[in-house]
A and B are shown apart, each in its own frame.
Chain A
Amino acid sequence: MSKNILRLAEIDRVIHEPGRLMIVALLAAVEEADFQYLRQTTGLTQGNLSTHLSKLEGAGYVQVEKTFRGKYPLTLCRLTERGKEALEGYKKVIKGAL
């Protein structure tokens, strides 16, 4: 079996989930986004998105900051350097396997 296919076994399972992959891919493409934007754009439910963000934050891939914009509360999310490296590694594994 090809070495690249075997590498699939090492794939980052934190990222390799459709909901979390969408979140990480989206955050990699922007500077920062808030919870409402992520929910609207990914189509995930509030509960699902919260769960995925908690997992990503726990893995150190996403930084979550609660702040305000005027009177409007924002939960800002950004991809950390660790998250960016994890995503690059994930892309290499997927590209190699496919």
Chain B
Amino acid sequence: MQELSSRLLVENPDEIAKRLLLKAHTRDGLPEMFVGLLFVLAAPLNWMSSNLDRSSMGFKGSFVAGYVGWLLLAVSIPWLIKWARRRFLVEQEGYVQLKSSKRMVIRILLVAAVVCMLLGAAALWLKPPGLDRWILAALGLFVCAVWSLIGQTLRFRVVGALNGATGILLAFNGLSIEISLAIFFGVSGLASLLSGLVVFIRFMRKPIRPGE
């Protein structure tokens, strides 16, 4: 504590705040659980594209509806997390009103995630030779980088590394790109969901001390 105290006094207060806010945002595991759920839901969308007749209206309709629904869920995540915390966890977490600029950062990150998904979809539709494999490998590395930057704790780095390794391994195996993407999103989603769930359970087990 003494060492931490001394370190704080020579740090930029903005950096201190950034670290504290990041720690606060990830302490209950909810962001990981929501992102994990998002990825898990992306898996069947990719599976559908390889196992259903692409020319049928049924496929086109369900594919488009699935992607639109997925995109809506993706952009709604910050509000869902905020709602869940204020509705169910205010006694454990307390209450905070973030500045709009922080929400903008969260939106930007989500847009980046959505762009990744669209790139994956474009690879499926356009099918340039070999490019889709590299996109999958790049997607794995991108998700790895995002996890490592966002979390900056061991569990985020482990999940990030798992994403990176899964992306690279799947990109250059013998499976079709659609199946590979489905497996990638399924594995990544489950890893994130489980990591978040463990954190959430540990968080909820902490005794609630009444606020002032």
Contact = CB atoms under 8 A, between A and B. Distances in A.
A30 B209 CA distance: 23
Given A22-B20, A31-B99, A33-B96, 10 more contacts: A16-B9, A18-B5, A21-B9, A26-B17, A29-B14, A29-B18, A42-B20, A74-B211, A76-B95, A91-B14
Nearest to B86: A69
Interface stretch (B21-29, B163-171, B186-194): B21-29
B13 A69 contact: no
* A interface, size bucket: 35 or more
Interface of A: 16, 18, 21-22, 24-26, 28-42, 46, 49-50, 69, 72-76, 87, 90-91, 94-95, 98
Interface residues of B, number: 31
Contacts of B8: 18, 21-22
Interface of B: 4-6, 8-10, 12-14, 16-18, 20-21, 23-24, 27, 86, 90-91, 93-99, 102, 209, 211-212
B58 to A, nearest CB: 46
> Chain A's interface: helix, strand, loop or mixed, by majority?
helix
Q: Which of A18, A39, A40 has the most CB of B within 10 A?
A: A40
Contacts of B90: 36, 69, 72
